[in-house]
Structure 1
Amino acid sequence: MDILTTFEQHASFYPDQAAIKYNDEILTYKELELFSNTLAKTIEDASKPLLLYGHMSPFMVVGMLASMKAGCGYVPVDTSLPEDRIASIINKVEPQYIFNTTSESLSLASSDEIFPTSLHHMPTVEHYEAYIESEDIAYIIFTSGSTGEPKGVQIKYSSLNEFADWVVELNQTGEHQQWLNQAPFSFDLSVMAIYPCLLSAGTLNLVDKNMINKPKLLNELLERNDINVWVSTPSFLEMCLLLPHFDEQKYSQLKQFYFCGEIFAHKTATILNNKFPHATIYNTYGPTEATVAITSIQITKDIIDKYNPLPVGVPKNGTTLDVTEEGELVITGNCVSAGYFKDEDRSKKVFQDNEHSRSYYTGDKAVQKDGLWFIQGRIDYQIKLNGYRIELEEIEFQLRHMDKIREAIVVPVYNKDKVSKIIGVVTLTQETSQNFDINALSHEIKEQLKQYVPVYMIPSKFKVIDQMPMTVNGKVDRKKIAEVTTT
Structure 2
Amino acid sequence: MNCIHELFFEQALLHPQKIAIVLNQQSLTYNEVLHCVKLLADYLIQNHNVKVGDIICQYLERSIEMVLGILAIISCGCSYCPLSIDDPAPRTHSLIEETKAECVLVHSLTKMKLNDLRHVSLVNCEQIIVAKYITKVPRTWPAWTVKVTDENIAYVIFTSGSTGQPKAVQIRHRNFVSFINAVHHEDIMNKNDVVVQTASCIWDPHVQEILGSMLFGCELVMLQQHGNRNVDYLMSVIYKNQATFLTVVPSLLIMFAEYFQIADKLDYMKTIRVLRCGGAGVFPGYFNNESNEKCLLQLPDISDDKCYVTGDLGKIDSNGELYFVGRVDFQIKLRGQRIEIGEIERIILNVSSNVTNCVVIKYQQQPEDQEHLIAYVQSSSSSSNNEMIIIEELKHYCQQYLPLYMIPTWFIVLEQLPLNTNGKVNRKQLPKPDFSHLTQQQANDHHVDEPNGEMEIEIHALWCRLLSIDTLSMKSNFFSMGGNSLLLMKLYNYYLSTFSLNQQIINIAMLFKQSTIVEHVQLLKNALLKTVNDTFVVQQQQWKPLN
SS at match of 2:101: coil
2:326 corresponding residue in structure 1: 377
1:190 corresponding residue in structure 2: 206
SS at match of 1:362: strand
Q: TM-score, normalised on structure 1?
A: 0.63
2:250 corresponding residue in structure 1: 234
The amino acid across from 2:17 in the alignment is D
Contact kept, 8 Å, 1:164 with 1:195, in 2: the verdict is no
How big is the shift at 1:177?
2.3
* 1:166-210 deviation per Cα after TM superposition (whole angstroms, max 9, x unaligned): 223334674232111211223102123122222221111123453
Q: How does 1:162-311 map to 2 (within 5 A)?
A: 162-171=178-187, 174-243=190-259, 246=260, 268=263, 270=264, 308-309=267-268
How big is the shift at 1:88?
0.7
SS at match of 1:335: coil
More strand by share: 1
In the aligned structure 2, how far is the partner of 1:467 from the partner of 1:77? 19
In the aligned structure 1, how far is the partner of 2:195 from the partner of 2:187? 11
* 1:92-149 deviation per Cα after TM superposition (whole angstroms, max 9, x unaligned): 1122322213444232242222222213444525665263211110000011113332
In the aligned structure 2, how far is the partner of 1:59 from the partner of 1:150? 26
Contact kept, 8 Å, 1:179 with 1:228, in 2: the verdict is yes
* 1:377-425 deviation per Cα after TM superposition (whole angstroms, max 9, x unaligned): 0123599xxxxxxxx99x96x954xxxx4x5436656344445333599
Runs of 5+ unmatched residues, structure 2: 333-360, 377-413, 419-426, 436-462, 470-480, 490-511, 513-547
How big is the shift at 1:69?
1.7
In the aligned structure 2, how far is the partner of 1:150 from the partner of 1:466? 22
1:32 corresponding residue in structure 2: 33
2:310 corresponding residue in structure 1: 362
What is the identity percentage for the equivalent residue pairs of Structure 1 and Structure 2?
Answer: 23
In the aligned structure 1, how far is the partner of 2:159 from the partner of 2:153? 17
Corresponding position: 1:351 with 2:361: no
Corresponding position: 1:110 with 2:69: no
SS at match of 1:16: coil
Q: CA 1:33/1:467 → structure 2, altered by over 3 Å: closer, same or farther?
A: closer
How big is the shift at 1:365?
1.6
Corresponding position: 1:422 with 2:429: no
In the aligned structure 2, how far is the partner of 1:413 from the partner of 1:172? 40
Contact kept, 8 Å, 1:34 with 1:125, in 2: the verdict is no
1:445 corresponding residue in structure 2: none
How big is the shift at 1:42?
3.1
Contact kept, 8 Å, 1:72 with 1:132, in 2: the verdict is no
Q: How large is the Cα RMSD of the aligned pairs?
A: 4.0
In the aligned structure 1, how far is the partner of 2:120 from the partner of 2:61? 20
How big is the shift at 1:376?
2.3
Corresponding position: 1:53 with 2:55: no
SS at match of 1:78: coil
Contact kept, 8 Å, 1:36 with 1:62, in 2: the verdict is yes
In the aligned structure 2, how far is the partner of 1:464 from the partner of 1:91? 33
Contact kept, 8 Å, 1:51 with 1:99, in 2: the verdict is yes
Q: CA 1:332/1:50 → structure 2, altered by over 3 Å: closer, same or farther?
A: same
The amino acid across from 2:267 in the alignment is N
1:409 corresponding residue in structure 2: 371
1:319 corresponding residue in structure 2: none
More helix by share: 2
SS at match of 2:268: coil
In the aligned structure 1, how far is the partner of 2:286 from the partner of 2:172? 12
Q: CA 1:79/1:358 → structure 2, altered by over 3 Å: closer, same or farther?
A: same
Residue of structure 1 aligned with 2:153, choices 137, 141, 144: 137
SS at match of 1:74: strand
The amino acid across from 1:46 in the alignment is V
Contact kept, 8 Å, 1:20 with 1:58, in 2: the verdict is yes
In the aligned structure 1, how far is the partner of 2:214 from the partner of 2:101? 27
SS at match of 1:165: helix
Corresponding position: 1:336 with 2:290: no
In the aligned structure 1, how far is the partner of 2:485 from the partner of 2:60? 28
Residue of structure 2 aligned with 1:153, choices 169, 183, 198: 169
Corresponding position: 1:77 with 2:83: yes
